[in-house]
Structure 1
Amino acid sequence: MNGTYQRRRRRPVAEINVVPYIDVMLVLLIIFMVTAPLITQGVKVDLPQGEAEALPTDAKPPIVASVDAEGFYYLDADGNAGADQPLELEDMATRVAALIILEPERNVVVRGDGQVSYNRVIQLMITLQSAGVPAVGLMTEPEQE
C-alpha cells in the first residue's frame, strides 16, 4: 500500500426541498376557505336600522335615483331636490353610466317611497349595478319621535 488515501467524491444532491412550498400552499388554502363564504353575489345593500349616518359634507352631491309611490323612476344628478320627468330603466342606466364615467367618485343613492313595491326598488338597484355603479346607498328620513 502506498499510504495514499483515496477519497470518494460525493455527488451533489439535485433534489428540491418542497416542504416550504407545502406550508405556503396550506396557508393559502386556509385563507381561501375562510374568505370564500364572504364573497356573495347579487345586489349589495346595507339596510339602515334607525338613525342613518349622513354623507360627508365635503363630498359632491350624490346622484339620486328615486322611485315614487306609483312606481315611476326619476333621476336627480344635480342635487336640486329631484327631477320631474319619469324615466324608463334603460334610459336611467344610460344616464347613470355616463355620469359615473365622468365622475367615478360620486356616490349613488336610492330614494324609495315607503309605499312602493320592494320589487321596484330592487329593479332600480339592479339597473344601477348594471350601469357600472360600484356601490348603491339607500336614503332614509330621520325617525320622528
Structure 2
Amino acid sequence: MIELPKRHRHVIDAQINIVPYIDVMLVLLVIFMMTTPIIEQGIEIDLPSTEAKMVDFTQQQPTIITIDKQGKYFINSFNEDDSDIAKGEKLPLGIIAGRVSARLEIYPQMKVFVRGDRQVAYGSVVSLMSFLQKNGVDKIGIVTESPDAK
C-alpha cells in the first residue's frame, strides 16, 4: 500500500497586530499637539493688569465689547461663533449699542464688560462706556488682567 504524504496544518495566529495602530495614534497625537495652539482665534489684545476681584459668570453669559489696538470694536469677541469676528468686520458703535440694548431687553440682569487693549487710547474706552450709558446700560465693568497671569 502506498503511503500518502501527510498534510501539515499551518498554525493560525488569531491575534490582532496593534503596532500599526499605535503608530497611527502617535502620529495623530503629534498632529493635534502641533495644531491646537494655532487654532486659537479671537482678537489679540494686551490687557492692563490690576488687583481686582474676580467675577462669577456661572449664572449668565456676559456681553463683552473689545477694543483692539487699531480702535476696532467687537462684541463678544472671545466667542468663535460670532460671525463678525470670523469676518474681521469692524462694528460701529451704533450696531454695538443696538445689540447690547436687545440683549438687555431679553436679560435685564446681564453684565456688560469692556476689554480695551493696553495701547488703545483711554478716550476710546471712555467714549464707548459713555455711549453705552446713553443707550440704557447702567453698569459697565472693565476687564483687566491680574499681574500674576503674566
Which one of 93, 102, 105 corresponds to residue 98 of structure 1?
102
The superposition leaves residues 13-65 of structure 1 with CA deviations (integer Å, 9 ceiling, x where unpaired) of xxxxxxxxxxxxxxxxxxxxxxxxxxxxxxxxxxx983221112432121001
The structure richer in helix per residue is 2
Which one of 101, 104, 114 corresponds to residue 110 of structure 1?
114
The count of aligned residue pairs is 97
Q: Distance in 2 between matches of 1:93 and 1:127?
A: 8
Question: Residue 80 of structure 1 aligns to which amino acid in structure 2?
Answer: N
TM-score computed with the length of structure 2 as normaliser:
0.58
Output aligned runs, 1:32-51, within 5 Å: 50-51=50-51
Structure 1 residue runs without a partner (length 5+): 1-47
Q: Distance in 2 between matches of 1:68 and 1:49?
A: 16
Question: Residue 70 of structure 1 aligns to which amino acid in structure 2?
Answer: Q
- Using the aligned pairs only, state the percent identity: 34
SS of 1:95's partner is helix
Structure 2 residue runs without a partner (length 5+): 1-47
Q: Distance in 1 between matches of 2:62 and 2:134?
A: 18
Question: Residue 76 of structure 2 aligns to which amino acid in structure 1?
Answer: D
Q: Distance in 2 between matches of 1:110 and 1:57?
A: 15
Contact 1:63 1:107 in 2 (8 A): yes
Task: Say if 1:121 and 1:57 are closer, same or farther in 2 by CA, change over 3 A.
Answer: closer
Look up the match of 1:74.
74
Look up the match of 1:37.
none
